[in-house]
Amino acid sequence: MGKQNKLSELLSCLTKKHVIVQTHNYPDQDALASAMGLKVLLEAKGKKVTIGYEGIVDKDNTLKMIELLGIECYLSDQLNLKPEDEIIIVDGQKGNINMTDLTGDEVACIDHHRVRRGECYKFSDIRDHVGACASIIASYFFENDIPVPENVATALLYGIKMDTHNMTRSVSELDLDMFSRLFPMANHEHMKTLENSCLKLSDLEAYRTAIDTLHVVEGVGVAAVGEGCSEALIASVSDFLLTLSSVQVTLVYSYRAGGVKFSVRSEVERYDASDMIADALSGYGDGGGHADMAAGFIPNVPDEHTAQDYAAVIKERFIRRVCTES
Q: Are 187 and 254 found together in one domain?
A: no
Predicted confidence (pLDDT) at residue 119 exceeds the cutoff of 90: no
Q: Are 182 and 206 found together in one domain?
A: no
Which residues are within 8 A (CB) of 2 and not within 5 positions of it... i.e. 6 or more apart?
A: none
- Which CATH number characterizes residue 115's domain? 3.90.1640.10
Q: Are 320 and 222 found together in one domain?
A: yes
As a whole number, the mean pLDDT across the chain is: 93
Query: Of 230, 164, 169, 139, nearest to 30 (Cα)?
Result: 164
* Residue 212 CB neighbour total at 10 angstroms: 10
- Overall domain count for the chain: 2
Residue 52 domain boundaries: 3-195
| pLDDT value of position 118 | 65
Which band of pLDDT confidence, cut at 50, 70 and 90, is reported for residue 230?
confident
Which band of pLDDT confidence, cut at 50, 70 and 90, is reported for residue 298?
very high
Q: Output the DSSP codes for 144-176.
A: TT----HHHHHHHHHHHHHHTTTTTSS--HHHH
Q: Of 195, 215, 246, which marks where a domain is finished?
A: 195
Q: Are 257 and 117 found together in one domain?
A: no
Q: Are 174 and 58 found together in one domain?
A: yes
Q: Are 74 and 120 found together in one domain?
A: yes
Q: Which amino acid is at 300?
A: N
Which band of pLDDT confidence, cut at 50, 70 and 90, is reported for residue 99?
very high
- Mean pLDDT to the nearest integer, 267-296: 92
Between 116 and 16, residue with greater pLDDT: 16
Which residues are within 8 A (CB) of 229 and not within 5 positions of it... i.e. 6 or more apart?
A: 206, 237, 254, 256, 261
Q: Are 141 and 59 found together in one domain?
A: yes
Q: Are 168 and 64 found together in one domain?
A: yes
Q: Using a CB cutoff of 8 Å and minimum separation of 24, what contacts does 167-171 make?
A: 169/131, 169/292, 169/293, 170/129, 170/130, 170/131, 170/290, 170/291, 170/292, 170/293, 171/131
For the whole model, what pTM was predicted? 0.85
Q: Of 178, 195, 212, which marks where a domain is finished?
A: 195
Side by side, which strands form the sheet with 259-266?
215-217, 220-224, 249-256, 259-266, 293-298, 286-289
- In the DSSP assignment, the letter for residue 120 is G
Q: Are 158 and 12 found together in one domain?
A: yes
Q: Rounded CA gap, 187 and 183, in Å?
A: 9
Which band of pLDDT confidence, cut at 50, 70 and 90, is reported for residue 4?
low
Q: Are 206 and 182 found together in one domain?
A: no
Q: Are 221 and 137 found together in one domain?
A: no
Q: Decide: 133 and 112 in contact? Cβ < 8 Å.
A: yes
Q: Of 175, 195, 215, which marks where a domain is finished?
A: 195
Q: Are 45 and 129 found together in one domain?
A: yes
Which band of pLDDT confidence, cut at 50, 70 and 90, is reported for residue 2?
very low
Q: Rounded CA gap, 113 and 274, in Å?
A: 10
**How does pLDDT run across 33-70, given as a tens digit for each residue?**
999 999 999 999 999 999 999 988 878 889 999 999 99
- Which CATH number characterizes residue 251's domain? 3.10.310.40
